[in-house]
């Protein structure tokens, strides 16, 4: 069986033709699905024979809701979803004044091995397909009854390690017949898979690229991010310059501040030097402490000091508000807890 959410309109047009159906049926089916009718029997403008054909070939891959966690302090909700093969992923919905955002996962687990991140602890299980990533948005909207207007690819997984599916996902959610989410409302976060940043730049999508830099030198970066052994910061910054030239988009650099690792005044100065004259913004994130790791967040005043140095040296930056930390909203923590509980029960 094939997940119909993996099909864009063109794919479904072709399928209809190959199966002796009129092409316009494809648009009808897609309209039902994106209007959240997830039962072929309820697609009342299709002949019964077409519905039967669809049913014998496709399933509509909406995941099962395992758990929903609501944060008490802010408008953050976390969802644990299970796909047909039993894979569990998490996604987070955040309500802001300017709209509702969702943080989606692109892989089950992750193979990048960042020391501060819970998603990577068990390695990668598999890639998610485009339709499986879309399903996170559809399912969340159907539960909250709120339209998602912003998407961040910052859940479990490395989107550029699942490149084809991620690009197809970005394409479908942008379409009128899909979720009609403008590319400028989408942020793709990567630990810096350099060749893929060049490929992405060549597509000239208007999405925001966020780079998980988290360090001011290669040596410092290697302490927490294995990918630093493969690509240097210089190579990443070169690829970012190419991205900016191609797309004219400002890049976001994420910098999770970890006590005694990357939070010194020296690090702040080095970071400012690296990013000098680049069209960018730095997002400072007090590291979210993960049970399995001993990395600690710096004291508030040190975070502020770090931010001030960047500002003084002309680097745009903000300290990220910690949303939903009472519900383990940090990457992968929820899935991790869930898997741990299952293991304990077995």
Residues that bind ligand SAH (CB under 6 A): 112, 114, 116-117, 154, 158, 189-191, 212, 254, 256, 285, 287-288, 290, 330-331
Nearest approach in angstroms of CB 154 to ligand SAH is 4
Active site residue 219: no
DSSP state of 290: -
Closest CB to ligand SAH among 4 and 236?
A: 236
Separation of alpha carbons 240 and 254, rounded Å: 13
Nearest approach in angstroms of CB 118 to ligand SAH is 7
Residue of 91, 139, 240, 331 marked catalytic: 331
- DSSP per-residue codes, 191-252: S--HHHHHHHHHHT--PEEEEE---SSHHHHHHH-GGGGTS-HHHHHHHHHHHHHHH-PPEE
Residue of 90, 132, 141, 254 marked catalytic: 90
Nearest approach in angstroms of CB 74 to ligand SAH is 17
Closest CB to ligand SAH among 5 and 92?
A: 92
Phi/psi for 127 (5° steps) reads -75, 155
Closest CB to ligand SAH among 148 and 228?
A: 228
Closest CB to ligand SAH among 4 and 237?
A: 237
Nearest approach in angstroms of CB 290 to ligand SAH is 5
The H-assigned helical ranges of 46-145 are: 48-57, 130-144
Binding-site residues, in ranges, read 110, 114, 117, 157-158, 189, 212-214, 288
Between the CA atoms of 295, 301, 303 and 306, what dihedral angle is there, to the nearest 10 degrees? -130
Active site residue 331: yes
Binding-site residues for S-adenosyl-L-methionine, in ranges, read 157-158, 189, 212-214, 288
Element spanning 318, H or E: strand 317-319
DSSP state of 65: E
Between the CA atoms of 109, 115, 117 and 120, what dihedral angle is there, to the nearest 10 degrees? 0
Catalytic residues: 90, 331
């Amino acid at each position: 069986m094939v997940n119909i959410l993996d099909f864009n309109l063109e794919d479904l047009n072709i399928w209809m033709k190959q199966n002796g159906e009129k092409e316009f049926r494809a648009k009808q089916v897609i309209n039902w699905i994106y209007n959240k009718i997830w039962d072929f029997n309820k697609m009342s403008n299709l002949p019964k024979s077409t519905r039967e054909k669809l049913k014998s070939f496709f399933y509509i891959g909406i995941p099962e809701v395992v758990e929903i966690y609501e944060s008490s302090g802010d408008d953050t909700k976390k969802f644990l979803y299970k796909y047909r093969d039993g894979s569990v992923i998490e996604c987070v919905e955040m309500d802001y004044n300017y709209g509702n955002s969702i943080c989606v996962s692109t892989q089950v687990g992750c193979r990048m091995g960042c020391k501060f991140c819970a998603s990577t602890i068990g390695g990668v299980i598999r890639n998610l397909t485009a339709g499986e990533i879309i399903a996170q948005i559809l399912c969340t909207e159907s539960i909250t009854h709120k339209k998602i207007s912003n998407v961040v690819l910052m859940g479990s997984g490395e989107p550029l390690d699942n490149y084809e599916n991620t690009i197809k996902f970005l394409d479908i959610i942008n379409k009128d017949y899909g979720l009609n989410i403008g590319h400028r409302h989408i942020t793709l976060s990567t630990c810096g898979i350099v060749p893929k940043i060049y490929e992405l730049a060549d597509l000239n999508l208007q999405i925001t690229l966020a780079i998980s830099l988290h360090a001011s030198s290669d040596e410092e970066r290697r302490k927490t991010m294995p990918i630093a052994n493969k690509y240097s910061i210089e190579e990443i910054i070169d690829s970012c310059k190419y991205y900016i030239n191609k797309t004219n988009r400002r890049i976001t650099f994420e910098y999770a501040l970890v006590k005694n690792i990357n939070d010194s005044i020296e690090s702040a100065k080095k970071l400012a030097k690296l990013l000098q004259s680049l069209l960018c913004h730095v997002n400072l994130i007090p590291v979210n402490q993960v049970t399995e790791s001993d990395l600690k967040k710096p004291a508030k005043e040190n975070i502020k000091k770090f931010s001030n140095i960047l500002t003084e040296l002309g680097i745009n930056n903000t300290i990220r508000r910690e949303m939903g930390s009472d519900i383990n909203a940090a990457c992968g923590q929820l899935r991790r807890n869930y898997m741990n509980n299952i293991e304990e029960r077995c």
